[in-house]
Amino acid sequence: MNATRVNSSLFSRPWFRKACAVAIFLAAALLQVFFKDVPWPLNIDGVEDLHTAAASLGAQEIVIGGTDTSSHHNFLTYDGGPFETVDLDFDRAQLGQATSSLLSAFPPAPPLDARSWHYITHEDSSADPTDSCRCFLTIEPAGASSTGAEFHLLQLGAPGLNHARQVQVRTDAAALIVNVKTDWPPGRENKATGCHKRLQSGDWFRGIVNHPMQFVVSPHSSFRIEFVSISPAGWGGTDKPFRSAQLGPLLARELTLRPIQEDGTTAKEPPDLHLSAFRSSKLKVRDLIVGSDTLQVSMSGKAWAELKGKAQGLDLWDAMQKNAMFAALLGSANVLLLGWLRKLFFTREPKPQLKGAESDA
């Protein structure tokens, strides 16, 4: 009770009210001026520096962590168009059961252990260059579903220039199943270009013409996908990106854009970008764009974010520019605060009259 009386008596004093008003004004001003990049989970869809990650050839990699492999989407899907094909190089993979059975029917049988494999275009000189086979590629997780798989996307080697767009995929504990095939264009059987492939591992090799092939990529290994244009015009120029391969969409807990050395090993520098999904939510990763010397994916969701090791967060002025309602509310609050200050400092309070003076009047 006594504390309440003391507080009310203090607030009734003009100097105390003015001191409180000045403190509130300074706090509000400092908050509005310096409230920038305070760590805060962001909806990254509309943030320019956060909703895409672009990795430069031989300098950066995109790491997608905590990936949910139980989703109904493939890791990657590609339905090739005319005069497009795919070459594949595996560091360590096994042939799928159906593929090994097919190839074993024609001695010598292929190696059945996990090893390096190459599946490359081998042109037939008798093929008609006016039409081409279509190439189809699907990549999906193998084995039991998991929510902790990690995948790395990067580019190594020389730029793709006019005719090649490449992406290298690294896995951790998750295996991947790669299915690839070519098909004749309707009515052009045995005539079109881009249908002949050479499958090789060590000294063993076999010519493949329009047979579906399956590879099981070993955990903790990598493979390279090269999208090749067999048209004289190529992809239309070194600056033209390739967008036909569909990534996922993948559901992941984290995404990191981090520096690498020329051989692909991780550089000892802070990540250029790191996103960590808010609470139990997931980031949606999709829209793979493959350039001659860059890779790019887009992300959506709510996440904690860091750029070059610096935490990103709510920017009050940026929020005002993007949200008219929020700007109006904050502006109204500022007007009310300034009005209160004006009343306290520039409005004279009426002087109290003595009771005797009132009775004389």
Q: What pLDDT, in 10s, does the model give residues 176-205?
A: 999 999 998 877 666 788 888 999 999 999
Query: How confident is residue 12, by pLDDT bands cut at 50, 70 and 90?
Result: low
Q: Residue 223: pLDDT above 80?
A: yes
Overall number of domains in the chain: 2
Which pLDDT belongs to residue 330?
Answer: 65
Angle at 299 between CA 295 and CA 303, to 5 degrees: 130
Which of 96 and 319 is assigned the larger pLDDT?
Answer: 96
13 has a pLDDT exceeding 90: no
Instruction: Give burial (CB, 10 Å; 0-12/13-18/19+) of 282.
Output: buried
The per-residue pLDDT for 122 is 84
Residue 233, pLDDT above cutoff 50: yes
Same domain, 140 and 202: yes
Rounded Cα distance between 340 and 75, Å, is 60
Residue 300 lies in a domain: yes
Clarify whether residues 278 and 133 are in a common domain: yes
Is 296 found in the same domain as 189?
Answer: yes
Evaluate if residue 5 carries a pLDDT over 80.
no
123 in the same domain as 155: yes
Q: Does 34 reside within a domain?
A: no
- In whole angstroms, what is the distance from residue 28 CA to residue 355 CA? 42
Confidence band of 170 (pLDDT split at 50, 70, 90)? very high
Confidence of residue 167 (pLDDT cuts 50, 70, 90): very high
**Band of residue 361 on the pLDDT scale cut at 50, 70, 90:** very low
Answer yes or no: do 301 and 324 share one domain.
no
In a domain? residue 191: yes
Q: Which of 149-158, 278-287, 303-312, 315-324 has the lowest mean pLDDT?
A: 315-324
* Residue 309 to residue 313: CA distance in whole angstroms: 13
Residues 308 and 326 in one domain: no
Tell me, yes or no, whether 128 lies in a domain. Answer: yes
Quick check: is 28 in a domain? no
Of 210, 143, 214, residue with least CA distance to 179: 214
Q: Pick the more confident residue, 103 or 23.
A: 103
Rounded to 5°, angle at Cα 55 from 94 and 44: 110
Same-domain check for residues 278 and 333: no
Question: pTM to 2 decimals?
Answer: 0.79
217 and 328 inside one domain? no
The answer on 251 and 339 residing in a single domain is: no
Q: Indicate if 256 and 199 belong to the same structural domain.
A: yes
Query: What one-letter code names the amino acid at 119?
Result: Y
What count of residues does the chain have? 361
Indicate whether 293 and 342 sit together in one domain. no
For 34, half-sphere exposure in the C-beta direction (CA atoms, 13 angstrom radius) is 6
Residue 203 lies in a domain: yes
Q: Which amino acid is at 280?
A: S
Question: Domain range for residue 328?
Answer: 316-349
Q: What average pLDDT does the structure give for the chain?
A: 84
Stretch 45-56: mean pLDDT: 88
94 within some domain: yes
Residues 268 and 343 in one domain: no
pLDDT at 90: 98
pLDDT at 285: 96
Residue 235 in any domain: the answer is yes
**pLDDT for 8 beyond 60:** no
